[in-house]
């Protein structure tokens, strides 16, 4: 019980720190969102009008007063679920803007993370069991090479090859010719638009799982309980799956939970390259225009989701591995 209480206490303390940093970090950036928006409306070389800038601040509901008073007001808004109005998508609220992009990112990145985890774990197990063989060499070398490539570069290659050259898939957007809804035409349209972003992520995301699982399992294969299992004459498949892989997967549980938590952050570069209507593209836009309410909400959403996923993983780790509870005690 002490193990679980300590984890919950750390979660609450970390959550408060995240909320506080989420308030101060955007305000430490140089520039004024109202000035940026007035400059865009007036023209790049036009002289700013002070009255127009102040009117823009009033219209956007920009916070006033000392940082301390703004911080208290910010905490009060969070308690009431009020994230303010988006500067870039005025007059829509931040909640409405995030709601439109939420499911695009959640469906895309969650499916990719689950597939990447399954593919990476299976390849890592087989590579470790057949270590120093041809399969292990091929998997390790190819994973190391692909790991050096940037996702946006792979995205550009897929756009050129499968999009422009062959014309098999759309190169931008989330849907085009169908009406959003649970109908076959829209689902097919959304799937075809999501295929290239998903393929880009599927090329790079399994690498960490492959190498991590392989290395952890190789260490476990040298443990005494593996030698005992082999000495008892158990089949190789049983030793690999029920003994070595089962224990080697414990660190991956935490990593997978944190990866799922980070889903809400989206993939900024990939979504921007494909102009995919997800949370990652929203975050990129919010940083560029200094849309503080939207940026704060996205950062907070990502951080809280990651913290909750990490807490669940820690609690699950304590259930799966009694050694963690004994070590904490």
Query: What is the Cα–Cα distance from 270 to 57, expressed in whole angstroms?
Result: 32
pLDDT digits (tens, 9 = 90+) for 93-111: 888 888 888 888 888 888 8
Q: Are 277 and 102 in contact (CB under 8 A)?
A: no
Query: Tokens 């009694």 — which residue?
Result: 322
Dihedral angle computed from the Cα positions of residues 196, 201, 203 and 208, in that order, rounded to the nearest 10 degrees: 180
pLDDT digits (tens, 9 = 90+) for 204-221: 888 878 887 787 777 777
Q: Hey, what domains does the chain have and what are their CATH numbers?
A: 2-79 (no CATH), 99-328 (1.10.3720.10)
pLDDT at 209: 80
What is the DSSP-derived secondary structure letter of residue 148? T
Whether the model pTM is above 0.85: no
Query: What is the Cα–Cα distance from 289 to 29, expressed in whole angstroms?
Result: 12
Reply yes or no on whether the pLDDT at 323 is more than 60. Answer: no
Cα dihedral 111, 276, 310, 139 sign = positive
pLDDT digits (tens, 9 = 90+) for 45-75: 666 666 766 676 666 666 666 677 778 877 8
218: nearest Cα among 254, 243, 244: 244
The token duo for 305 is: 């989701």
The token duo for 285 is: 């836009």
The token duo for 296 is: 């704060």
Query: What is the Cα–Cα distance from 216 to 220, expressed in whole angstroms?
Result: 6
């Amino acid at each position: 019980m002490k193990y679980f209480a300590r984890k919950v206490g750390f979660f609450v303390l970390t959550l408060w720190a995240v909320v506080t940093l989420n308030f101060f970090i955007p305000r430490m950036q140089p520039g004024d969102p109202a000035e940026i928006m007035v400059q865009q409306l007036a023209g790049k070389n036009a002289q700013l009008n002070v009255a127009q800038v102040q009117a823009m601040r009033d219209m956007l509901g920009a916070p006033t007063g000392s940082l301390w008073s703004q911080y208290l007001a910010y905490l009060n808004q969070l308690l009431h679920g009020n994230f303010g109005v988006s500067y870039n998508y005025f007059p829509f609220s931040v909640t409405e803007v995030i709601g439109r992009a939420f499911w695009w990112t959640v469906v895309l990145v969650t499916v990719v993370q689950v597939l990447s985890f399954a593919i990476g774990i299976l390849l890592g197990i087989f590579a470790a069991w057949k270590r120093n063989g041809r399969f292990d060499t091929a998997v390790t070398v190819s994973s190391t090479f692909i790991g050096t490539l940037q996702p946006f570069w792979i995205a550009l290659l897929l756009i050129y090859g499968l999009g422009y050259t062959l014309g098999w898939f759309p190169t931008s957007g989330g849907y085009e010719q169908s009406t959003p809804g649970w109908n076959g035409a829209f689902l097919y349209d959304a799937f075809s638009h999501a295929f290239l972003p998903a393929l880009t992520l599927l090329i790079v995301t399994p690498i960490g799982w492959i190498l991590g699982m392989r290395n952890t399992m190789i260490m476990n294969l040298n443990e005494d309980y593996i030698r005992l299992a082999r000495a008892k004459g158990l089949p190789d498949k049983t030793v690999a799956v029920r003994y070595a892989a089962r224990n080697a997967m414990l660190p991956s549980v935490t990593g997978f939970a944190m990866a799922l938590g980070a889903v809400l952050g989206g993939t900024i570069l990939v979504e921007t390259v494909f102009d995919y209507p997800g949370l990652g593209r929203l975050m990129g836009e919010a940083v560029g225009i200094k849309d503080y309410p939207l940026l704060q909400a996205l950062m907070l959403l990502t951080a809280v989701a990651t913290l909750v996923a990490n807490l669940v993983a820690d609690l699950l780790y304590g259930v799966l591995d009694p050694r963690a509870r004994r070590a904490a005690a």
